[in-house]
Structure 1
Amino acid sequence: MARNSGNYRNPCLTMHQPWASLLVHGIKRIEGRSWPAPIRGRLWIHAAGKVPEPETIRAMEDFYREIYAVNGITDLKFPEHYPVSRLLGCVEVVGCVRREELVCWDEIPEGVRLEGQTDFCWLCEKPQKLIIPFEMRGNQGVYNLERKVYEAAVRGLTPVTSPLPVKFPLPDSRNPFSLKPGSLASSATNSPSSSETNRSESLATAIAGARAAATQFSKSSNTFQPIKEGNPISSRTIYKPKEPQSQNNFPASHNTGRFDK
């Protein structure tokens, strides 16, 4: 994998839960944004401080159950915890394409194409998680981890076995940066893809629920929400930060109404 360009040394992205853990655990393979990926290679994932609602977790887990079922995988194991204000692990960003390119890309599984719900789709492989996620503050956009944080984190990584590992084929095998917006335009058509025309009722419902969860999340406040004691999230639990920290240095989402976080 080629090195990142620009001033990114150990790039990190702060994301809301449950999207952050789903990405690090290899369930989520597409990170959706309203802007193209500025890096290639390792991207560290940090979970923001806002505790997700039970309905949000349920909607996203239902969504991934349905899109994996499209490819015959029916036994997904979701994270036991959705920790907040923690560095969780990392993924490899191998490229970025537009949604209209992704949904027509026949070389990748249909379930992956169904994840494309935003203007720009960051293509993620090789998830790794920290054995013990540790507390830190996030920032806006893609930013560099402090050196001491990176040195501690890189020693605590362990590979994750994805339910359906995906290797995104490069348009130009000699160029590791060839997966960029417009690189797949020649294979895209104006006709609806099979993933949009042949959806089951349960899949359509799950997609609608996930979109609604993301839209509702993006309209919420971007300030830290203290954890309410005695209000567990069904069988999942949330780590409580040691001290409430302001999260005003990054937005609640990248764009109101977008699907991924």
Structure 2
Amino acid sequence: MSGRMRGGNLTNPCLTMHQPWASLLVYGIKRIEGRSWPAPIRGRLWIHAAGKVPDQDTIKAMEDFYREIYAVNGVTDLKFPEHYPVSRLLGCVEVVGCVKREELVCWEDVPEGVRLEGQTDFCWLCEQPQKLLVPFEMRGYQGVYNLEKKIYEAAVRGLCPIEGPLPVKFPLPDPSDPFSLKPGSLALRFNGSNASEVEKPPSLNAAIAGARAAATQFSKKEPSKNPTRYDANFIRSRDTRNSTETSRWKDNGAVEEDKGPSGQSNGGYHRWERAHQNAEENSCMDHDRNSSRRYQGDGRNFNQQLGASSKIFAAAMKGLKPAGANRA
């Protein structure tokens, strides 16, 4: 991967996610990306699907979850992706903010179904999904990393805006500051008050439990120790000229978060955050290592897309339009 930091900032940030969560986000069905660490960026975030083929039970659990939470807002006709491709760059979303779970569940400015999506410590708020007409095959990496320039230049030409079932516009506390919607920014507005509880029918409770169970298969090794402070200013940079693919943390100077006791070292937090990211995403990388040797679908017929993806990607690299390619 040749994408590198420029001036301490990610130029074309990308996140590798497991399926079916990756496609649900790009299709505008999923509006909250849950993580154990705060979002280090604002703006466009490319979404890459990891190499693990999702089993049908996981797909069903997540589709049932979204059926139930959309039904809370009266949306009953959800159209889910026909395929959940793996080892592919799928598209992008706009990350407009990040709040803590306890803030999201109290935020009455957003639909009740969105509040129910908050099932993790930190909730990345996503808008304006766009999908690639033909997903590009590529390998993913841990954390938020830079998309390779050549892949970006080819992918940006093939984006198609998506209208989700119930698009959400997350209001910024300060419209002039893109980082104003950050962990802790909504806490003062609630003054310890609790959100109006959604009356949860048994089917909704069962769907939430199923979604949690599906997600825990990737986070069993997460440490239980909580940090004394957190800071969203550290983002990962990967230098692929180093064969060991070492990572280093940079301070982008863009966000100020909750401060710990004065003079307290943040080294312990860096180790904690790195451990959390590794626990969430190591399994993504294990499956991607084998993706260059073979491609597997999700049990549905997806073989033709691999050939089309390779041809269109190769042509885009040369600045040519693929002959006879179907872009509909």
Would you say same fold, with TM above 0.5? yes
Match for 1:180 among 156, 177, 182?
182
Q: Deviations over 1:179-226 (max 9, x none)?
A: 00010001335455334x621111000000000111124349823298
Distance in 2, Cα, partners of 1:22 & 1:231 = 16
Q: For the Cα contact (< 8 Å) 2:44–2:93, is it kept in 1?
A: yes
| Aligned equivalent of 1:100 | 102
Q: Deviations over 1:99-129 (max 9, x none)?
A: 0000000000000000001110000000000
Alignment-mate amino acid for residue 199 of structure 1:
K
1:200 and 2:201 are equivalent in the alignment:
yes
Q: Deviations over 1:231-255 (max 9, x none)?
A: 964xx5566979xxxxxxxxxxxxx
Unaligned runs of 5+ in 1: 243-261
SS of match in other structure, 1:218: coil
Q: Using a 3 Å threshold, how does the CA distance of structure 1 residues 153 and 231 change in structure 2: closer, same or farther?
A: closer
1:120 and 2:122 are equivalent in the alignment:
yes
Q: Using a 3 Å threshold, how does the CA distance of structure 1 residues 5 and 237 change in structure 2: closer, same or farther?
A: farther
| Aligned equivalent of 1:211 | 212
Distance in 2, Cα, partners of 1:230 & 1:116 = 31
SS of match in other structure, 1:155: helix
| Aligned equivalent of 1:76 | 78
Q: For the Cα contact (< 8 Å) 2:107–2:195, is it kept in 1?
A: no
Higher relative contact order (CA 8 A, sep 6+): 1
Match for 2:111 among 102, 109, 112?
109
Alignment-mate amino acid for residue 30 of structure 1:
I
Q: For the Cα contact (< 8 Å) 2:33–2:125, is it kept in 1?
A: yes
| Aligned equivalent of 1:171 | 173
Q: Deviations over 1:116-145 (max 9, x none)?
A: 011100000000000000100000000001
| Aligned equivalent of 2:28 | 26
Alignment-mate amino acid for residue 100 of structure 1:
E
Q: Deviations over 1:30-62 (max 9, x none)?
A: 000010000000000000000011000000000
Considering only CA atoms, is the larger Rg found in Structure 1 or Structure 2? 2
Unaligned runs of 5+ in 2: 1-5, 222-281, 308-328
Distance in 2, Cα, partners of 1:163 & 1:172 = 27
Q: Percent identity over the alignment?
A: 74
1:65: Cα distance to partner?
0.2
Alignment-mate amino acid for residue 199 of structure 2:
N
Distance in 2, Cα, partners of 1:21 & 1:55 = 16
1:230: Cα distance to partner?
11
1:157: Cα distance to partner?
0.2
